[in-house]
Chains A and B, each alone.
Chain A
Amino acid sequence: MNEAVLKNARNRSTGSQSQKEISRIVQKKRMNREDSIVKSILFLCAMVSVLTTIGIVAVLLVETLSFFKDVSLFSFLTDTKWTPLFKPEHFGILSLLSGSVLITLGASLVALPLGLMTAIYLSEYADDRVRRVIKPILEVLAGISTIVYGYFALTFVTPLFRMIFPDMGVFNALSASIVVGIMILPMVASLSEDAMVSVPKSLRNGAYALGATRLEVARKVVVPAAFSGIISSFVLAISRAIGETMIVTIAAGATPKLTMNPLESVQTMTAYIVQVSLGDIQHGSIEYKTIFAVGMTLFVLTFLINLIAQWLKRRFKEEY
């Protein structure tokens, strides 16, 4: 068939000038090898991210299962002490979890209201010139390495609070959580602002036409309309706060404790992983495996929270 077409084409090439030029349109299809090689290479690139996920889950799962051969799941979930590095050993994740929760709670109290107010100011009140100045500053705030925040929490914020609470230790949950809050503030502000800016002008104009003030428009029109986006920015910021490591390692201390008192020193899951990593740990030892068990807990927690954020975004998807 192909040969016939080809021959046909060649025979015709004795025709007029233009037909001679065009006669090569139908020809035995050379497999476009370049395109298919490129496609396979790009496919492999795309598979790296899939493999990363598989790798994370597999690595955490294997070592965590091995951890639970030595420690019962029941005591992991109910024991109130976490002392894997000295005798008597206790493996109660609750002490680390409460540290993470305390920090995250404090950070949310700072970041969510301030972030939301910043977003409302930027999207409803500020004019273009102000926005052009403030937004890059917030970007800088978001781009600063967390080690810098940690340094600042320890050397500036803590001394400041110790003037108010003289009994508070050098390492405490209070200043760590406030600084974590400021670290996630730009994220809340910019994601919420994105959600508000995408509320159509016509909705706002409708309210303004009825004589509403800007505050009323923000409160009764813009925030409700952008609600899903705002909530999902909150949830994403919370997930970021749980995963934050260096600020809490530096400023919150290294004492796993089941407490909700922000003036005390606590340890988060992330800070524990750093503490163990800084020491010389034996591959395969129980200390080594705790990293994975704690990491697994952290991963599952943040993964669930991120799923909630995505679900919220879909669930309350506004139809403009």
Chain B
Amino acid sequence: MITKRIIPCLDVKDGRVVKGVNFLGLADVSSPVKLAEYYSECGADELVFYDITASSDGRRLFTDILCEVASKIFIPLTVGGGINTIDDFDRVLKCGADKVSVNSGAIKNPSLVSEGAKKYGDQCVVLSADIKRVNGRFTLFAKGGRENTGMDAIEWIKRCCENGAGEVVVNSIDTDGVKGGFDIEMLRAVTDAISVPVIASGGAGGIYDFVKLFKQLPGVDAGLAASIFHFGEVKIADLKAELRKNGIIVR
């Protein structure tokens, strides 16, 4: 049986993981390589790296780090942040990424999804969508959630899937950072609309939020979170044990 995936997400700026990390026993807590190794050993099913650097020096540093991570970690790696052209796909895939996550780059240039899918296959293109309720409507936001595009998020996701997006990360701006649980209503709207794997993001505050997510929405394939893993509030081994206890199949 296919297992539900648990995915820690690492935001990398100037070669370091942002969002303070306080692990016991990890000497260099903001080293992307050390943290990736730690997660891999703990049973993370996949890792997501977001490059949140703006400068070209930072971008080079990021790809160097990516190469180092990919030469040491043998689980799937998804890379996002600053993916605007097919050349950006090439750049990160050559460094050992398996999937490329597009967000604002696809909003600016919607053909990015179809070009990426045509060149590297649907499985390689992950659409990441930042969504917020505006007047009761699921609305697509760009630029890390700062800019309202006015577009209907569900329609956008459907269109991208038709163009070859192989997975969709749904990040609810409404629940992000609140730690009150995933946005079940928003996720249901997405899983009802598309047939590719859906990764839930935004809102996880504890182990029970993942149990609730997979119990209430069997159509969701994976749960993604950052700070609760980085701060050690949720240990992946404990999380998986609890999911197993609740009849949810994990690795």
A binds B: no
